[in-house]
Structure 1
Amino acid sequence: MSNSNPNLQTDKGIVDGLQKPRIDLSKPRWSQETFIGRFKHFLQTTDPRNAFVSEKQLDAAKDLVQSYKLGSEPPGTTEEQLWHAKKLYDSAFHPSTGEKMLTIGRMSAQVPCNMTITGLMMTFYRTTPAVLFWQWANQSFNAVVNYTNRSGKSMSYSELALPYVCATTGAVGTALGLNSLVKKAPPVIGRFTPFAAVAAANCINIPMMRQSELTEGIMVQDNEGNNVGKSKKAAKKAIGQVVFSRIIMCAPGMILPAWLMDKLEKGKFLKRYPYMGGPIQIVLVGIALTVMTPACCAIFPQKSSMAVGDLEPELRTEIVGRYGNKLERVYFNKGL
């Protein structure tokens, strides 16, 4: 009889006359076939507390995960210890390369870093110097995040510089252009210009940061994890999913607080304590990001897939020659 739990595998040891089940740490704790399962997984990996875990603890978590996969974990290791180690491992190490990611580029740093930058960007949006500085700060942070969460390939400094400059220019241009257009509009309309600028920048930054994937393709695998070739079409799908997720991720945190702050500024509290505007906005953005970061990471499976019939003709021919008609879909890491 097959095991109903996809995260358990058979251990060679015998306990009380029965085979002892082992956790399959190559897979997330929850099924990634459903949004709820993916949300639970990313709720743990994007937990802001993970960003403050020491390097020593992260290395220990990696050692425990790897030793358990080899069946050489320390005696007495509990299931909860394993899942905790995997949580830390998934939050800090790249899923394709296994490299330890830059701290501020990890998804666990999204909430503390993004809430601060976004909150201040939305507070100081009226003057040109403020727009220039905060859009630059935001795109600098986004460039680090996009590079850290790419699908796997390393990039040269020249490959990093072009998308960074283009995204920053696009964001600043959009923000300044919209600010000039909405000068005569109600004040609340002007509050939405930072979101438009960020959305435009995401449409520039992410594809350009991953341009080598679009020109060379990304590795696709069969259902056993074996590499079958590189696909540009898979790269387009992966990048499109990430762009969509990033825009949806920032939308509630930039739209709802903007509307609420417009209401609050008309009230007595902020007129009496105007210096509280920035902190309140940062907290509002943080609340939204705490929910939206794991939710938007979970919109599409991390291990995305596409039908073999939708691949490039030459790759499709190669797959059919190797697998016949047995392989219907291929899989790839979409990045974050």
Structure 2
Amino acid sequence: MSGALPLNINIHEPRWDQSTFIGRANHFFTVTDPRNILLTNEQLENARKIVHDYRQGIVPPGLTENELWRAKYVYDSAFHPDTGEKMVLIGRMSAQVPMNMTITGCMMTFYRTTPAVLFWQWINQSFNAVVNYTNRSGDAPLTVNELGTAYVSATTGAVATALGLNALTKHVSPLIGRFVPFAAVAAANCINIPLMRQRELRVGIPVTDANGKRLGESANAAQQAIAQVVISRILMAAPGMAIPPFIMNALEKKAFLKRFPWMSAPIQVGLVGFCLVFATPLCCALFPQKSSMSVMSLEAELQAQIREAHPDLRPEFSQVHTSTLAP
């Protein structure tokens, strides 16, 4: 049954203009909303039904545009875009803030001993592996070998960085030591993300013209996309791991934390969480998910292929489009 709501609303794309930072930020504030993890299965299934029905031209009586967009974002928050399967709870984008604030807060509280470093870096990389597996591509899924290699390499890199820097900072200010977990996380991201997307670095990612017509695959485009992902992930972690150390260093000199030292972890987790609520969507929005690059930046073979298909094209002034997939 058709209602008053028009059927030409494009819910395949985000609601806001993705060519602007503000539009992308609005999109990711909705995508990463932690309240979505509290939704019941009934609410998730209802959102899925609304979205599927609308795509088939069926509109429930009384459905408003705002309700349709809300259903779309609820659906996107819980179901895989390629396979349609319900994603593992802690692997969803809406779980990023609560999970990361807990793990990061504990990494920054318990960083002084080797067992604590080993445990929390292992927990962090295990969580990252779950997120990467949950959000894997439906067209080119990660193999168990690729996932295992990235997981072991990132964990090893993070632990080695943390232990090495802990040894170097034993004789310096305690404040400097508080930044060791951030260095370890940054190092792990530089290892983990390229390994997770190694197939794209080998065979390339699709590039299209302005009309969306596929022109081929480019490894150079993949390098640009993956570099943007690494940068955004490191910057995403930076506020929550750079601001709280200054606050905690001052608080631990006060009588309150000297009297109640067990409060250190909850306070640190809360500070990290406050930072991540804003840093997560804002850093996801730094780069467009669909970006452009010069034809001249592509591989010579692909440039020749494009010129052959489009003889009137002037490569020095032409752009192709590709997917960054920043989050």
- TM-score normalized with structure 1 length: 0.89
1:335 deviates by 4.2
Q: Which residue of 1 aligns with 2:266?
A: 279
Deviations 1:147-185 (A, max 9, x none): 334555201111111111111011000000000001010
Q: CA 1:214–1:183 in 2, change beyond 3 Å: closer, same or farther? A: same
Residues 287 and 326 in structure 2, CA contact (< 8 A), matched pair in contact too: no
1:203 maps to what in 2? Answer: 190
Note the C-alpha offset of 1:95: 4.6
Report if aligned partners of 1:136, 1:168 keep a CA contact under 8 Å in 2.
yes
Residue identity over aligned pairs, in percent, reads 59
Could you tell me which amino acid in structure 1 is paired with residue 203 of structure 2?
E
Give the corresponding residue for 1:136.
Answer: 122
The 1:265/1:117 distance shift into structure 2, 3 A limit, reads same
Q: Counterparts of 1:1-336 in structure 2 under 5 Å?
A: 22-95=8-81, 98-150=84-136, 153-324=140-311, 325=313, 328-336=319-327
Most deviating of 79-88 and 279-288:
79-88
Q: Give, as a single letter, the amino acid of the residue that structure 1 aligns with 2:160.
A: G
Query: Which 5+ residue runs of structure 2 have no aligned equivalent?
Result: none
Local SS of the residue matching 1:22? coil
What per-residue deviation string (whole Å, max 9, x for no partner) do you get for residues 203-256 of structure 1? 001111111111121222333333332211111111111100010001110111
| 1:14 shift after superposition | 12
Counterpart secondary structure, 1:154: coil
Name the one with the larger strand percent. 1
Moved more, 230-239 or 166-175: 230-239
Q: Aligned residue pairs: how many?
A: 321
* Separation in structure 2 between the aligned mates of residue 162 and residue 142 of structure 1, nearest angstrom: 13
Contact 1:223 1:331 in 2 (8 A): no
* Alignment check: 8 A CA contact 1:30 1:41 kept: yes
Which residue identity lines up with residue 180 of structure 1 in the other structure?
A
Q: Name the CA distance, whole Å, in 1 between partners of 2:127 and 2:242.
A: 20
Any conservation in 2 of the 1:150–1:210 contact (CA below 8 Å)?
no
**Paired residues of 1:122 and 1:254 also in contact (CA < 8 A):** yes
Structure 1 unpaired stretches of 5+? 1-12
Residues 205 and 217 of structure 2 are in contact (CA less than 8 Å); yes or no, is this contact kept in structure 1?
Answer: yes
Aligned Cα RMSD in Å? 2.3
Q: Secondary structure at the match of 1:185?
A: coil
Q: Which amino acid aligns with 2:28?
A: F
* CA shift in 2, pair 1:220/1:95, >3 Å: farther
**After alignment, is 273-282 or 54-63 more displaced?**
54-63
Deviation at 1:98, TM superposition (A): 5.0
- Measured after TM superposition, the shift of residue 97 of structure 1 is 5.5
* TM-score, normalised by the number of residues in structure 2: 0.91
Q: Is the 8 A contact 2:292 2:320 kept in 1?
A: yes
- Distance in 2, matches of 1:273 and 1:251, equals 28
Q: What is the CA-CA distance between 1:91 and the residue it aligns to?
A: 2.1
Q: Deviations over 1:243-280 (max 9, x none)?
A: 00010001110111111111100111100111100000
Deviation at 1:115, TM superposition (A): 0.5
Give the partner amino acid of 1:208: L
